[in-house]
């Protein structure tokens, strides 16, 4: 991750420079309208499309695969494996099967960013990551991330593989990962907050939104973007209008007082 200025609208994910707003796709069904939405999202300038092996029973990945005839410039496609519930979900053989299926569904030879979705209580994270790293060494995965983890777990992971991104639950109300955000910023790791819009900014966010002629969702995103230059939120939407509003949040500059009022 390289930072351009004090309030960068872009950051670097491995070899790609991308806008700091993405698209979450955990409700994406494989319909013609959603295939069009993915194409329009890229045209509208999202910097990341976030999916997972588990989302909508595979339809999310399939929709993205159907929308993209080649890898888009300026937009990283990220997927995940080893999610869901149950012990053993991070076993090497389980991950290998999921990676093969994700490559097929995404219709690609190389996944730009692949996360271990959850640390498996039954498999040391080093073993799960070694299985993913095997694909990285063969060029079928380019960068590795890890999701819902502590600093200790990130450090363990980094002893085995380079970690390009961390994706943890973080928003205006859910702040248990403050130290992880700061760690990622220091260590040049992209921090992707999931459920970015589920927090509650209350009346304050509404007042700030009115002052900026913006929506409360845009202010929520502007706050996240201001919180750290390592932050790349992936708000989930099935609406092109909402998606464009989310990308436009990159242009909103909160004052120090506004930032602190929401902090
Ligand atoms: N790593 C993990 O374990 C993990 C866990 C959960 C989620 N995720 C990822 O995080 C992404 C985001 O999470 P999420 O989608 O569940 O929650 P979210 O992004 O916090 O919120 C999504 C909700 O916000 C609405 N929304 C989006 N943009 C809006 C706008 N401009 N104005 C008004 N409403 C707006 C959406 O409705 P509309 O469709 O009507 O816009 C939807 O109801 C997921 O899609 C997934 O990719 C990862």
Q: What is the pLDDT of residues 85-135, one digit of tens each?
A: 889 999 999 999 999 999 999 999 999 999 999 999 999 999 999 999 999
pLDDT in tens, 228-237: 999 999 999 9
Q: Is the pLDDT of residue 74 over 90?
A: yes
pLDDT computed for residue 3 by the predictor: 41
Does 156 sit in the ligand 1 pocket, CB within 6 Å?
A: no
| Position in ligand 1 atom list of the atom nearest CA 52 | 47
**Percent of the residues in the chain that have a pLDDT greater than 90, as a whole number:** 92
Is the CB of 190 inside a 6 Å radius of any atom of ligand 1?
A: no
Beta bridge partners of 80: 115
Task: Give the closest residue (by CA) to ligand 1 atom 43.
Answer: 237
The answer on pLDDT for 21 being more than 90 is yes
* Ligand 1 contacts CB of residue 173 (under 6 A): no
Q: Whose CA is nearest to atom 8 of ligand 1?
A: 194
If you average pLDDT over residues 73-95, what whole number do you get?
A: 96
Residue 213 vs residues 21, 131, 196, 206, 218: alpha-carbon distances, Å? 20, 48, 21, 10, 10
Average pLDDT in the 46-53 region?
98
Dihedral sign for Cα atoms in the order 62, 67, 73, 74 = negative
Report the distance separating Cα 9 and Cα 46, nearest Å.
Answer: 11
Q: Ligand 1 centroid vs 231 CA: distance in angstroms? A: 16
- Would you call 55 a catalytic residue per the annotation? yes
Are 53 and 80 in contact, with CB atoms under 8 Å apart? Answer: yes
Q: Whose alpha carbon is nearest atom 44 of ligand 1?
A: 24
Burial 68-92 (b: 16+ CB within 10 A, else e): beeebeebbbbbbbbbeeeeebbbb
Residue 6: predicted pLDDT? 52
Which residue's structure tokens are 């494996």? 81
pLDDT in tens, 148-198: 999 999 999 999 999 999 999 999 999 999 999 999 999 999 999 999 999
Of 55, 114, 170, 183, the catalytic one is 55
Q: How far is 26 from 253, CA to CA, in rounded Å?
A: 29
Closest alpha carbon to 23 in 1, 2, 43:
43
What is the pLDDT at residue 35?
98
| pLDDT tops 50 at residue 5 | no
pLDDT, the chain, mean: 96
Contact by Cβ (8 Å): 79, 94: no
Look at residues 62, 57, 63, 58 and name the one whose alpha carbon lies nearest to residue 41: 63
Q: Under the phi-then-psi rule, with left for phi > 0, alpha for psi from -120 to 50, and beta for the rest, what region is 84?
A: left
pLDDT classification of 2: cutoffs 50, 70, 90: very low
Instruction: Report how far residue 174's alpha carbon sits from residue 59's, in angstroms, rounded to the nearest whole number.
Output: 29
Task: Indicate if ligand 1 lies below 6 Å from the C-beta of 82.
Answer: no
Do 181 and 219 meet the contact criterion of CB atoms below 8 Å apart?
A: no
Instruction: For the chain, give the percent of residues with pLDDT over 70.
Output: 98
Q: How far is the CA of 194 from the centre of ligand 1 (A)?
A: 8
pLDDT score, position 1? 46
Would you state the pLDDT for residue 78? Answer: 98
């Amino acid at each position: 991750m390289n930072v351009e200025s004090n309030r960068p609208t872009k950051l670097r994910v491995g070899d790609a420079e991308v806008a700091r707003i993405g698209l979450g796709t955990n409700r994406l069904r494989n319909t013609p309208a959603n295939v069009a939405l993915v194409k329009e999202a890229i045209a509208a300038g999202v910097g990341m499309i976030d999916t997972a092996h588990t989302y909508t029973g595979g339809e999310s990945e399939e929709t993205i695969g159907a929308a993209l005839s080649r890898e888009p410039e300026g937009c990283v496609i990220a997927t995940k494996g080893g999610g869901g519930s149950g012990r053993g979900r991070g076993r090497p053989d389980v991950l290998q099967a999921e990676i093969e299926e994700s490559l097929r569904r995404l219709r690609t030879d190389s996944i730009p960013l692949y996360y271990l979705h959850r640390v498996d209580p039954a498999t040391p994270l080093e073993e799960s990551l070694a299985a993913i790293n095997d694909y990285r060494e063969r060029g079928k995965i380019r960068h590795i991330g890890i999701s819902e983890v502590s600093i200790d777990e990130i450090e363990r992971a980094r002893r085995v593989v380079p970690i390009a991104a961390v994706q943890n639950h973080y928003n205006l109300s859910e702040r248990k990962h403050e130290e992880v955000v700061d760690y990622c910023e220091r260590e040049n790791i992209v921090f992707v907050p999931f459920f970015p819009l589920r927090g509650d900014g209350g009346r304050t966010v509404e007042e700030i939104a009115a002052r900026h002629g913006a929506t409360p969702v845009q202010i929520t995103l502007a706050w996240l973007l201001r919180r750290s230059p390592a932050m790349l939120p992936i708000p989930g939407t099935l609406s092109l209008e909402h998606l464009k509003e989310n990308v436009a949040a990159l242009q909103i500059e909160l004052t120090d007082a506004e930032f602190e009022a929401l902090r």
